[in-house]
Chains A and B, each alone.
Chain A
Amino acid sequence: MNQPATSDVWYFPKDGLTELIRVLQEDGFDVIGPTVDQGAIVYASIQSAEDLPKGLTDIQEAGSYRLEKRNDESLFGYVVGPHSWKKFLFPPISVVAAADRIEGHWEFSTPEEPQRPFAFLGVRACELAAIRVQDQVFLKGPYVDPIYQRRRESAFLIAVNCTQAASTCFCTSMKTGPRCQSGYDLGLTELKDGFLLEIGSERGQQLSRSLSLRPTTAAEMAEGDLRRQQAADQIHRTLETDGLPNLLKQNLRSSHWDDVGRRCLSCTNCTMVCPTCFCSSVTEVADLNGDHINRERRWDSCFNPEFSYMHSGIARDSIPSRYRQWMTHKLSSWHDQFGTSGCVGCGRCITWCPTGIDLTVEVLAIREAAATVESVDRGTNHE
């Protein structure tokens, strides 16, 4: 077989996935992929293609998620669940530093836990975008997070193009999908009987040499196009991003924050499922005699009141103020901080909100309220 060239598209049959997983394992990777747990598709260590959610799909609405059987044997026939890859790159709990009392004085260290490199199987376009966003946060600022860096730099990314969309998806508005464009090592599109494979990096190229690939047929290429187009066609939710950062900045005193604040439980679900949210807190965890202390970084949320605790009081002591912080950070100040939106349009915060708060609807409400005020102002000026 010829060696595939970068940017070429190759084909392998369904059982080629088993080979791919085995090659990754032989290369020392901990292969993480979608699997079913407690009625949801989550990301976990997988041993073989058998662990993938075969013939299942997810039905998602604001505040609801359930799995259903498909009438085919698709392995990637669903979109995104409550997990995202940030769970592996930015672990929910990690030790950033440690202190040891040795002969009466303290010594400080920054432990480097041994970590098998990850291979992520099934990274969707919106998730590639989310990883890019977190790269910006953890790797591109004045300070680099060493824990994220170690995990990120060794990770091997196998993207999968969506062939369908959920009602909560709006990646097209955020210009992040549904097509995987870059940022992956290998890119897959699932066909009825096999996969199209695209090579996205030098590492991907090298690994592909161990796989049994053949060139594609025109029919297979057409089937891939059709399936990917189906995902794009199914996306109906939109978020108008034009002027959005300024719109929110100009409406920090909008009464709509109180409105959404009455519905929001401040439960933190949206921030936990969000693939870009990165808030955390470091807490002290001591052993029994207090001689060894781990400084543990844990995911935190701007929806927790204590998150903004200061000695003079809690800065954001109301749910409306916390919802405002979350949304304005995600959609407005993120641009100032990282040169990009903090939202990739994956829709997780909509699905997993227990009261079904939908940020696309909330933004629209703020936009409409602002437009009303503006037209009233204009009317007054003409009088």
Chain B
Amino acid sequence: MIHQQPNILKMLSESRFTENLNNQQLQSLCRASRVHSLPAGTILFQEGELEDEVFVISSGHVRLSMSVPGRGNVVLLTSGPGDLVGWSGLISDGRMTATAVAADDCVLVALSGKRVRELCETDPQLGYVLMIRLARVLSQRILATRLQLLDLFRPGGDSR
């Protein structure tokens, strides 16, 4: 696994979630990470399951869906390069609130939620930075969801 570290370092430094951390912080995160390749169509995680790892997408896209009886798996959001998915593992027991499937061939960095949480405990400065960034990711998700909810293009809406 050691040979993968520089690769992970590069991938993490390119993600909005982990960019611009100092080298020491990045190194610490690298040690809690692995590269995870996901062929198109494969399931990354399932709604309702416990998952320790959180994922930073390096390349490819992941579809997040929820299962609704009678409607099947409803796709709610496509995540792409730089996005964080499976964030529940960073702040709780990691019970997934959506199913993630690779829309195309993906390369992800998988971070151990437990290890990252421990890192944050021992290095509160890193913890603060990561939690702020997580909050930012979640606030973007909420905003995007609200905009979806507004259904701005509904018939009879804005005439453009």
Chain A residues at the B interface, C-beta cutoff of 8 Å = 310-312
In the bound assembly, the distance between CA atoms of A220 and B157 in angstroms comes to: 69
Specify which chain B residues have a CB less than 8 angstroms from the CB of A310 in the assembled complex. Answer: 159
A310 vs B156: C-alpha distance when bound (angstroms): 10
Chain B residues near A312 (CB, 8 Å)?
Answer: 156-159
Given the complex of chains A and B, what is the CA–CA distance between A57 and B157 in angstroms? 54
Chain B, range 34-89, C-beta contacts under 8 Å to A: none
Show the binding face of B for A, using Cβ within 8 Å. 156-159
**Distance, CA A204 to CA B3, complexed state (A):** 97
Chain A nearest CB: distance from B152 CB in Å?
Answer: 9
Binding site of A, secondary structure by majority: helix, strand, loop or mixed? loop
Interchain CA distance A213-B156 in the complex, whole Å: 69
Q: Which residues from chain A contact B157 at a C-beta distance below 8 Å? A: 312
Q: How far is the CA of A310 from the CA of B158 in the complex (A)?
A: 8
B46 → chain A, closest Cβ, in Å?
Answer: 40
* A311-B156, A311-B158, A312-B157 known, 5 other contacts, Cβ within 8 Å: A310-B159, A311-B159, A312-B156, A312-B158, A312-B159
Total contacts A-B at CB 8 Å: 8
Shortest B55–chain A CB gap in Å is 39
State the majority secondary structure of interface residues on B.
Answer: loop
A312 to B156, CA, bound (A): 6
Point out the residues of chain B lying under 8 angstroms from A311, CB to CB: 156, 158-159
Cα–Cα distance between A306 and B27 once the two chains are bound (Å)? 62
Minimum-distance CB pairs A-B, first 8: A311-B159, A312-B158, A312-B157, A312-B159, A310-B159, A311-B156, A312-B156, A311-B158
CB distance from B159 to the nearest CB of A (A): 4
Question: Which residue of chain A lies nearest to B158 when distances are taken between CB atoms in the complex?
Answer: A312
Nearest residue, chain A, Cβ from B154: A312
Residue of A nearest to B159 (CB): A311
The CA of A284 and the CA of B159, in the complex, are separated in Å by 22
Bound CA–CA A311/B160 (angstroms): 9
8 pairs from A and B in contact (CB 8 Å cutoff): A310-B159, A311-B156, A311-B158, A311-B159, A312-B156, A312-B157, A312-B158, A312-B159
- Tell me, in angstroms, the Cα distance from A312 to B160 when the chains sit together: 9
How far in angstroms is the closest Cβ of chain A from B57?
Answer: 36
**Minimum distance in angstroms from A48 CB to a CB of chain B:** 56
Q: Collect the chain A residues with CB atoms within 8 Å of residue B158's CB.
A: 311-312
Task: Give the shortest distance, in Å, between A309 (CB) and chain B (any CB).
Answer: 11
Q: How far is the CB of A315 from chain B (nearest CB, A)?
A: 12
Q: Report the bound CA distance from A311 to B158 in whole Å.
A: 7
Closest residue of chain A to B157 (Cβ to Cβ) is A312
CA distance A92 to B158 in the complex (A): 32
- Chain A residues contacting B159 (CB-CB under 8 Å) are 310-312
A38 to B156, CA, bound (A): 47
How far, in angstroms, from A266 to B130 measured CA to CA in the complex? 54
Bound form: Cα–Cα A312–B159 in Å:
6
